[in-house]
Homo-oligomer: A and B are copies of this chain.
Amino acid sequence: MSKQNTFTPPWRKTAPKEGSWRSIFKWGDPLGFKSPGDRLYAELKEAFNLTDDDFQERKHEGDGPVECPDTKALSRDQVKAFAAIVGEDNMSTDAYQKVKYSTGKTLEEAMRLRAGKVDRVCDLVVHPRSREDVEKVVALCNDEKIPIYVYGGGSSVNFGLRPSKGGVTLVLNTHMNKIVEVNETNQTVRVEAGMMGPAFEEALNSARKNLKTEYNYTCGHFPQSFEYSSVGGWIVTLGSGQNSSLYGDAYDLCLGVEVVTPRGTINTLEYPGTATGPKVLDMMKGMEGTFGVVTAVTWKLHRHRPENRQYFGFLFKNFADAIEAAREVTQDEGGMPSVFRVFDENETDFAMKMYSISGSAADSFLSLRGYKAENRCLFLGSSDGEKGFAKHVKKRVKKICKKHGAMYISGYAQKLWEPDRFKHPYIREDLQDFGILSDTLESSLSWDQLHEAHKAVNGFMASRPNTMYMSHSSHFYPQGTNLYYIYFIKTDDIEEYRAFQDGVIDAVSKSGGSLSHHHGVGKMIGPWMEDHLGSEQMEALRALKRHFDPNNIMNPGGQLGIDITTRQWRDIE
């Protein structure tokens, strides 16, 4: 570690200017920040051979006003027709809106906007007020063959909302963001698709007081993007939250959808289990806007009882032992933990450094006990549910972890993690202000594929000099888990970044894991889909696509790899 620790880089602590590029690419709250601490700063300098001199001045902050060429792809009559549906107040051809609602949260988009360059933008932004508005817009677009893209919360990290073919972007969170009804008997809530995570969760947490229900509820779904993603987005991208091991993925939590397709509006049935053929609801889960617009969702509720939560944490001698314990926990049928995270050797060392454990007296003690740096692994989590259940789960986890050689380190680390859990993305802007890129990719894996995949993807990342990388498993099923790969590189060059990012995707693809555990596919990973699923399965998706959207107006231009067979989606007109 660096010995210099008196200098702190000028991490930015001011909100982006209104109307600026930065106001679009910056994550989250304009006044939300999570700057690297001294220890991470020292790590970064060492990893990238940098000195304090390299951190004197922020670069490419994107403070200039957003500009964008006038696209004029829509005729005046077409624009008038949209105005007749939603009203002039609910649409815009303004450059700022067009860029904002055409941009997700990929690093590549941020790099471009920092340079004052725009990627593809839509021709018109529309803020529908209701399902009826959406139906009329979809019908108009279908008649006129105008592409439609949907902006939910805007947190896509794979160009999911990139308007590759121009057209109209529908912003669902402006108006269509309310709870329709809580059905306490069925323990479900009907919600408009544009409702954002925090408003949704707050309404459910305070249901007793505000909705006069018997219990308070939780949506049970807390992806990293929770604060800046919408309920509809969770379902169409197959999201997975930090509590998925107990509550399930968005796939499991969704009981029904209302979806407007060019072929008509569908309200799926909501029986809890029914033997009446393949389920149209399932066809909509993960369709990423390519079949239609999800306008409302029926979501399964869980009781909100944070007072029942039990925290735990363990240190294992190595990753293999930690994974074996995790596998036993999920396969033992003693009840699943709620949050549940196993860090690999690299991420454990990283965490130990961040919390100043590395090199300390505690470290010597741990090493003596056999929990040595570069091998040891953290295993953190918590259990939820009815109190006795939550306690039983913790007790069981403890017993299994000890059997696999773990040291119990109390629930302290997990309690530290919890309140900060949505803050991590804020660090991205600080790093990028100094040319350091941090990105993530992830993969779902059967247990028996895990270690080989981990080795293969690490091997690729290690092949690039001066690359920091680490990973963890954070979603558990009796049949497997995920690996969440994190890397840090230093470059200002988009092409260099792209080549590395594509290389990681390639490595994931060849590793035997799935192409995505919960980020979805978007246009970024679309080109790998044909190889991954095989042409027979891709053709089944295309058959549904042709059925629901015969004119290919719904999110065309590479999404899910459904309408491309080349990796050159970026060049599609």
Interface residues, chain A, with chain B CB atoms under 8 Å away = 183, 185-188, 237-240, 244, 249, 251, 255, 261, 263-280, 282-288, 300, 302-303, 327, 331-335, 384-386, 388-389, 392, 395-396, 444-448, 475, 477-482, 513-521, 529, 532-534, 536-537, 539-541, 543-544, 546-548, 560, 562
Give chain B residues whose Cβ lies under 8 Å from the Cβ of A513.
271
For the complex of A and B, list the 4 residue pairs with the smallest distance between their C-beta atoms, beginning with the closest: A543-B547, A334-B386, A272-B477, A238-B275
Say yes or no: A271 contacts B392, CB within 8 Å. no
What is the chain B residue whose CB lies nearest that of A478? Answer: B187
- Given contacts A278-B287, A389-B333, whether A269 and B533 have CB atoms under 8 Å apart is yes
Say yes or no: B185 contacts A447, CB within 8 Å. yes
Say yes or no: A520 contacts B445, CB within 8 Å. no
- Given contacts A265-B536, A334-B385, A392-B392, whether A186 and B480 have CB atoms under 8 Å apart is yes
Give chain B residues whose Cβ lies under 8 Å from the Cβ of A261.
536
Give chain B residues whose Cβ lies under 8 Å from the Cβ of A386.
332-335, 396
Say yes or no: B536 contacts A263, CB within 8 Å. yes
Say yes or no: A286 contacts B275, CB within 8 Å. yes
Give chain B residues whose Cβ lies under 8 Å from the Cβ of A540.
266, 280, 283, 544, 547-548
What is the chain B residue whose CB lies nearest that of A284? Answer: B278
Q: A272-B481, A334-B386, A334-B388 are in contact. List 9 more A-B contacts (CB 8 A).
A: A187-B478, A240-B273, A269-B533, A273-B475, A280-B537, A280-B540, A300-B478, A539-B547, A544-B544
- Of A333, A480, A482, chain B has the most CB atoms within 10 Å of the CB of A333
Of the candidates B271, B279, B515, B529, the one whose C-beta lies within 8 Å of that of A480 is B271
Say yes or no: A445 contacts B271, CB within 8 Å. yes
10 contacts between A and B (CB under 8 A): A183-B448, A238-B274, A276-B514, A279-B286, A280-B540, A303-B331, A334-B389, A335-B385, A540-B548, A543-B546
- Of A275, A447, A516, chain B has the most CB atoms within 10 Å of the CB of A275
- Given contacts A283-B282, A517-B274, A521-B277, whether A302 and B333 have CB atoms under 8 Å apart is yes
- Given contacts A386-B396, A392-B392, A540-B547, whether A273 and B533 have CB atoms under 8 Å apart is no
Q: Copies of this chain, how many?
A: 2
Give chain B residues whose Cβ lies under 8 Å from the Cβ of A279.
282, 285-286
- Given contacts A335-B335, A389-B334, whether A517 and B282 have CB atoms under 8 Å apart is no
Say yes or no: B282 contacts A479, CB within 8 Å. no
Give chain B residues whose Cβ lies under 8 Å from the Cβ of A284.
278
Give chain B residues whose Cβ lies under 8 Å from the Cβ of A244.
273
How far is B261's CA from A422's CA once the two chains are assembled, in angstroms? 45
Give chain B residues whose Cβ lies under 8 Å from the Cβ of A448.
183, 185-186
Give chain B residues whose Cβ lies under 8 Å from the Cβ of A529.
276-277
How far is B521's CA from A573's CA once the two chains are assembled, in angstroms? 46
Cβ of A472 to closest chain B Cβ, rounded Å = 16
Cβ of A397 to closest chain B Cβ, rounded Å = 12
Give chain B residues whose Cβ lies under 8 Å from the Cβ of A481.
272
- Of A271, A286, A519, chain B has the most CB atoms within 10 Å of the CB of A271
How far is B272's CA from A385's CA once the two chains are assembled, in angstroms? 23
Cβ of A456 to closest chain B Cβ, rounded Å = 16
Give chain B residues whose Cβ lies under 8 Å from the Cβ of A562.
277
- Given contacts A282-B283, A300-B478, A543-B544, whether A516 and B274 have CB atoms under 8 Å apart is yes
Cβ of A469 to closest chain B Cβ, rounded Å = 22
Say yes or no: A278 contacts B544, CB within 8 Å. yes
How far is B239's CA from A185's CA once the two chains are assembled, in angstroms? 26
Give chain B residues whose Cβ lies under 8 Å from the Cβ of A267.
534
Of the candidates B335, B446, B521, the one whose C-beta lies within 8 Å of that of A389 is B335
How far is B541's CA from A266's CA once the two chains are assembled, in angstroms? 13
Say yes or no: A264 contacts B536, CB within 8 Å. yes
Cβ of A417 to closest chain B Cβ, rounded Å = 22
- Of A186, A263, A287, A543, chain B has the most CB atoms within 10 Å of the CB of A186
- Of A237, A268, A283, chain B has the most CB atoms within 10 Å of the CB of A283
How far is B388's CA from A237's CA once the two chains are assembled, in angstroms? 37
Say yes or no: A287 contacts B282, CB within 8 Å. no
Say yes or no: B275 contacts A516, CB within 8 Å. yes
How far is B282's CA from A284's CA once the two chains are assembled, in angstroms? 11
Give chain B residues whose Cβ lies under 8 Å from the Cβ of A268.
537
Say yes or no: A271 contacts B446, CB within 8 Å. yes
Give chain B residues whose Cβ lies under 8 Å from the Cβ of A276.
238, 286, 514-516, 521, 529, 532-533
How far is B244's CA from A389's CA once the two chains are assembled, in angstroms? 20
How far is B277's CA from A533's CA once the two chains are assembled, in angstroms? 10
- Given contacts A333-B386, A385-B333, A392-B389, whether A278 and B273 have CB atoms under 8 Å apart is no
Of the candidates B277, B543, B547, the one whose C-beta lies within 8 Å of that of A288 is B277
What is the chain B residue whose CB lies nearest that of A526? Answer: B277
How far is B334's CA from A168's CA once the two chains are assembled, in angstroms? 47
How far is B312's CA from A436's CA once the two chains are assembled, in angstroms? 61
Cβ of A391 to closest chain B Cβ, rounded Å = 9
Cβ of A292 to closest chain B Cβ, rounded Å = 10
Give chain B residues whose Cβ lies under 8 Å from the Cβ of A333.
302-303, 384-386, 389
Give chain B residues whose Cβ lies under 8 Å from the Cβ of A541.
277-278, 280
Give chain B residues whose Cβ lies under 8 Å from the Cβ of A396.
386, 388-389
Say yes or no: B287 contacts A273, CB within 8 Å. no
Give chain B residues whose Cβ lies under 8 Å from the Cβ of A277.
286-288, 521, 529, 533, 541, 560, 562
